[in-house]
Structure 1
């Protein structure tokens, strides 16, 4: 038996990959734990855009993410990512272009009519995608339950795969928390069909359509272990950035806010770590939905190889 600790994106991806290889799996979730921080994610499957700041290893891990999620029941919107900047920040757009690949220069209004006349040029990452992270995780849970995978509060049995994020800090001394904050807005007057990233020297943001006039606006990245709700500063900055993309966001309804601590290693690269008999899948930083499938498949391959001699004896 393999006990996967944690029911967030890392845990559910790991449990899925292990179960698909015929291994006996259970998912252990704390009854007292809050909703996984994964539920606050944008659900952007944008490896090339992440390459602006992320190491090449993260980009490579994320290249197959959209296919993996689609194969596992998620509704993946393959509409690409549009990156824009106000005229005063045009240098940011040139910098972003130098640091990334997989893009082409476009007229933003030709892709998103709502942006016509607002931005002179933009970068379009055609192969990127987005999805609803809550719906994607719900699909994984349904599939695991259909395979007979049990979800419960413990105790764990057999091999332990720890996917508990920041809660695993006692086992991973170099893990650090990075606070992320987001807003959900209802803006029926805005019609965007793809993720739009707004570049800004101090508070860049992204806007992810959720359908029916709903948009996720994120996300601040603060080197802090501070718990608690979204700060007033984050709300003001995110709303200001959204307004810059489209003035109609000023009349939007704020339907939800969220804040959570994302776990990160010093190099910000998600990884599989071994500490004694415990295996950790952690350090997702802001790349959980992008990198968790790759790590899950790698982990499953390792454990199948390790457990094969036991099964043959």
Structure 2
């Protein structure tokens, strides 16, 4: 049986591990604290699309492939543990005229792709989300929704272990031939290695210079509020002032509000400014937000590749693969990335949408 080592236990690494284990490989995930970084902080919104996709046809194809896979991906995961998946709609609400114009473009874009979308009036927005301030109108995408990444990653670890996979709570420090050296001095052999450690991936030593593109950190702060019963009925994006605020409710009353985007290197500090920004923006569209219980403010580092696109597949180093650089869409692209990586590792046909995202596009 082929031994696979995956360095990194975030949502991409864990999803890849689960799919690879299902394909008959022997998988070991190595991470000092699995699912504790960007995956832990992520809101898990699964929208019908975003502005980054409008002029990126290859990324759009990858995104749509992953969106199509999500229902079956979640259903399979439910056989092992709750997945945290909701597919009860996403509401995009406009709070100024410019936002309403933006939704015109989004409506045409979704219809051109065959994604279900309905125009909703100001009155219908109020009916769908009674807690909202008055909106000018919106779009309802009934086939989309959200997943709770904290629930999802716990389910992935459960599924992996039940299938015979292993999780090692250590850090991969160095690659030496067909072994990895761990922070505690241990050594783990592999037939194939997947590097999935987010923005820490290129810091793993022992690989030829240039073999791994630098994955930079992009900081994001996310707020969590709580109410009983839940304040919002379904996942939403509130558009105003040229930007959008996402609001992701959980069934237990948690409301995830995000997010900031900050180029600050490896700084994971939670700041008063970030907290104030999110609270202020939330209160502008949710007049009752100030009365909710403050549950958490957290920061994470999104992994951004040199061209801000995912990096999926074999590197120039024999038997070393890369699954990183998903930037803002790691949770959204997990199903298709896992399918593509499992195909690479087993030598079977890789899904067409994943082919353009080879690490070899950066040279190395």
Using the size of structure 1 for normalisation, the TM-score is 0.88
Matched, 1:157 2:189: yes
Structure 1 partner of 2:22: 20
Matched, 1:38 2:39: yes
Where in structure 2 are there 5+ consecutive unaligned residues? 171-181, 204-210, 349-364
Deviation by residue 1:196-255 (Cα, 9 ceiling, x = unmatched): 111133552111001232101111122231413222222112111211222110112221
Deviation by residue 1:103-154 (Cα, 9 ceiling, x = unmatched): 2211212322333x71131111121111211011101111111111111135
Structure 2 partner of 1:295: 337
Using the size of structure 2 for normalisation, the TM-score is 0.77
Deviation by residue 1:153-174 (Cα, 9 ceiling, x = unmatched): 3533211111100111346334
Where in structure 1 are there 5+ consecutive unaligned residues? 307-313
- Tell me if the contact between 1:47 and 1:290 (Cα under 8 Å) persists in the aligned partners: no
Residues 18 and 72 of structure 1: CA distance in aligned 2, closer, same or farther (over 3 Å): same
Structure 1 partner of 2:63: 59
Residues 229 and 253 of structure 1: CA distance in aligned 2, closer, same or farther (over 3 Å): farther
Instruction: Measure how far apart 1:266 and its partner are.
Output: 3.3
| 1:97-108 map, 5 Å | 97-99=104-106, 100-101=109-110, 102=115, 103-106=117-120, 107-108=124-125
Residues 245 and 185 of structure 1: CA distance in aligned 2, closer, same or farther (over 3 Å): same
- Tell me if the contact between 1:163 and 1:280 (Cα under 8 Å) persists in the aligned partners: yes
Structure 1 partner of 2:97: 90
Matched, 1:168 2:194: no
Deviates more, 1:246-255 or 1:187-196: 187-196
Structure 2 partner of 1:276: 317
In structure 1, distance between residues paired with 2:322 and 2:345: 13
Structure 2 partner of 1:311: none
Structure 2 partner of 1:132: 148
Structure 1 partner of 2:296: 256
Residues 30 and 75 of structure 1: CA distance in aligned 2, closer, same or farther (over 3 Å): closer
| 1:103-252 map, 5 Å | 103-106=117-120, 107-115=124-132, 118-152=134-168, 153=170, 154=182, 155-158=187-190, 159-170=192-203, 172-188=212-228, 191-201=231-241, 203-252=243-292
In structure 2, distance between residues paired with 1:270 and 1:180: 18
Deviation by residue 1:33-75 (Cα, 9 ceiling, x = unmatched): 8922111111112242465667323432432242112321213
In structure 2, distance between residues paired with 1:209 and 1:255: 13
Instruction: Measure how far apart 1:80 and its partner are.
Output: 1.2
How many residues end up aligned between the 2 structures? 302
Runs of 4+ in structure 1 deviating by more than 4 angstroms, as ranges, are 50-54
- Tell me if the contact between 1:114 and 1:190 (Cα under 8 Å) persists in the aligned partners: no
Residues 63 and 228 of structure 1: CA distance in aligned 2, closer, same or farther (over 3 Å): closer
SS at match of 1:220: coil
Deviates more, 1:274-283 or 1:132-141: 274-283
